[in-house]
Structures are given as C-alpha cells and as structure tokens.
Amino acid sequence: MNKPPFEAIVEILRSNDFKMELEGIGGYDLTQIGIITAET
C-alpha cells in the first residue's frame, strides 16, 4: 500500500471530486469511501 500507484488510487478514492461524481450517479453508500478496511 505504500507504493505510488496504490497511494494514487487511495488519494482519488478519498477526493471530494470522486465522491461528488458518485453522488451524482446515486444509489451508493459513501459513508466509508476511502477507508482501508483490510490489508494482506
């Protein structure tokens, strides 16, 4: 998770722009967007 490609993806998932795009689509629970729940 500490490699640039993964960090970039997490940054996008946590961004307000991404959240706003999903809100525009509707039907998604965004309360935990960008939270990492498990690592392997």
Q: What is the pLDDT of residues 1-40, one digit of tens each?
A: 789 999 999 899 899 999 999 999 999 899 988 888 888 7
pLDDT given at position 12: 93
The pTM of the whole model exceeds 0.85: no
- Quote the tokens at residue 34: 């960008």
- Quote the tokens at residue 39: 């690592």
pLDDT given at position 21: 93
**Is 25 within the bounds of a domain?**
yes
Describe the crossing of helices 4-14 and 16-25 by its angle, rounded to 10 degrees.
Answer: 60
Q: How many separate domains does the chain show? A: 1
Q: Which domain holds residue 19?
A: 1-30
**Is 39 within the bounds of a domain?**
no
**Is 3 within the bounds of a domain?**
yes
**Is 14 within the bounds of a domain?**
yes
**Is 22 within the bounds of a domain?**
yes
**Is 38 within the bounds of a domain?**
no
